[in-house]
Amino acid sequence: MIARGFGRLTDPPASFLLAGARVVDPATGIDELRDIAVRDGVIVDLPADDLERIDASGLVVAPGFCDLHTHLREPGTEGETVASGTRAAARGGYTTVCAMPNTDPPLDESAAVAALLARAADAACRVRVIAAATRGRAGHVPTELEALATSGVVGVSDDGTGVPSERVVREILKRLAPLDLPLIEHAEDGEAAGGGVMRVGPTATRLGLPAWPPEAEERMVERDLALAEAAGGRIHLTHLSTAAAISAVRRARARGTRVTCDVTPHHFSMTDAWVGGSRRFAWEETSLVGTTGEPYDAATRVNPPLATREDALALLAAIEDGTVDAIATDHAPHPSHRKAVPFGEAAPGLVGLETALSLGLAAVEAGRLSLRRLVEALSTAPAEIIGERRGLPPGATADLVLFDPRARWQVEPGALGSASSNTPLLGMELPGVVRMTVASGRVTYRR
């Protein structure tokens, strides 16, 4: 019997038969009802009637999810650990998370990368590392990119901020090109953002909060795209939040620029009205004016800030048409004392690993996204960006998620594997319950 609860990558490989699941595998283009057999951690041909049989009727099997943007907070002491963060990931259906380097101290040296990878060897999902793009994330001097590449990083980023200097970005892109690693940009022009703590719009006007214009993102995106075109390196724009930024990516793609991008579940589902107390998803919102619930919930403070309904719907359309490659969580756990302060003083960010699939499924139910694209943007597409293979053909190592797309669950701190619960979704009921996650042939989560 496969035990319920969390497992580790160091557990023995698993054997089981998923009977009657809807298999959605973007790698092979399959979307059909069938059985999947796993023997000693490897997907095998049917029949395999001797295996432990799990009734998967009504459930979906998909390749394991891959998060391009996770804050595990190690090294550091605040809000999460590798152990708790990877359990959150496993519960959310993830088999890989990419740890961001804005830790304390920042991950800007090979030794720190190696130490983190060693700590994650027995975690509940694979941990890949994104190293800092500049020393100390200070934006001035590129890190030892070539050495970092050999220590196994999957990209570099100064996430938390963009890299302000064009000269530095150009140098990083040139040096990354032969290494085939992306520069992952948090596109925010600090000057244009001007200390804003939420998005410009009617809610900010009403609440009297300093506001952030969409140009703060758009300007940086346009600059980065131009630099990537000139330098020829790979650039990946993370957590894009505005329709204008998406249009810029679309235009650059048409010109042949090597650019990939991701959006977060919170940016495609929530709006700036959430800061005013609304809890209506972008696709159900009719009015954006006024406060409808408790305003100033610090759980709605995030960078880039929650945008307009039009932006959120544009992000969903761009996921569907492929302009947006991947959904990434920007899982940003914070201990409660970092959020129990006035809105503008709160640490930005929210936890997302355990609600990403659910928010995607809510968009699917609303007719704003196809299940096929949702699965692809959570699994095979982000995996490809970091050079991981995904797919469910016989012979492949089992790396998959089994979920019930219709079952409902209530978001509450006790239901989360993360050490933090900073999300405005608390108390809400969402569709989508993960039943089992299998990473590298090991069962890392089962309920």
Partner 1 sequence: MLDVAVASRFGRHLLDVEGLSAGQLEELCDHAVEMRAARAERRHRSLLEAETVALAFFEPSTRTRVSFELAAKALGATTVDLAVEASSVRKGESLVDTVRTLERTGVTMLVIRHGSAGAPNLVAGRSGLRVVNAGDGSHAHPTQALIDLLTLREALGSLQGRTVAIVGDVAHSRVARSNIHALSAVGATVRVAGPPAWVAGFEAWPGVDVATSLERALVGADALMALRVQLERDAGADGPALADYVRDWRLDEDRMGLANRGAPILHPGPTNEGCEITAELADGPRSLIGRQVENGVPIRMAVLAAFAGAA
Interface ranges with partner 1 (CB under 8 A): 194, 200-202, 204-209, 211, 289, 291, 294-296, 298, 337, 340-345
Smallest distance from partner 1 to CB 73, Å: 20
Smallest distance from partner 1 to CB 211, Å: 8
> What's the CA angle centered on 132, arms 130 and 135, to 5 degrees?
160
Is 311 part of the annotated catalytic residue set? no
What is the greatest pairwise CA distance in the chain?
65
The stretches of 92-235 forming alpha helices (DSSP H) are 110-119, 145-150, 166-176, 190-193, 202-207, 215-231
Which of 165, 205 has the CB closer to partner 1? 205
Q: Provide the Cα torsion 260, 266, 268, 269; round to 10°.
A: 160
Please, what's the b/e burial string for 183-222 (b: 16 or more CB within 10 A of its CB; e: otherwise)?
bbbbbbbeebbeebbbbbbebbeebebebbbbebbbbbbb
How far is CA 360 from each of CA 45, 214, 254, 355, rounded to the nearest angstrom?
Answer: 31, 24, 27, 9
Structure tokens at 272: 């700036």
The beta-strand segments (E) located in 100-158 are 126-131, 155-156
Which of 175, 339 has the CB closer to partner 1? 339
Which of 139, 202 has the CB closer to partner 1? 202
Which of 107, 209 has the CB closer to partner 1? 209
Catalytic: which of 11, 330, 399, 404? 330
Within 8 A by CB and 6+ apart from 406, the residues are 58, 431
Which of 46, 289 has the CB closer to partner 1? 289
Smallest distance from partner 1 to CB 192, Å: 11
- The sign of the torsion formed by the CA atoms of 283, 287, 289, 293 equals negative
Which of 12, 293 has the CB closer to partner 1? 293
Within 8 A by CB and 6+ apart from 215, the residues are 189, 192, 244
| Chain Cα centroid distance, residue 421 | 16
Smallest distance from partner 1 to CB 298, Å: 8
Which of 113, 299 has the CB closer to partner 1? 299
Token pair 């959006």: residue: 263
Smallest distance from partner 1 to CB 77, Å: 17
Smallest distance from partner 1 to CB 208, Å: 3
How far is CA 105 from each of CA 76, 90, 139, 145, 271, rounded to the nearest angstrom?
Answer: 7, 26, 15, 18, 33
Cβ(434)–Cβ(401) under 8 Å?
A: yes
Smallest distance from partner 1 to CB 217, Å: 19
Residues annotated as catalytic are 330
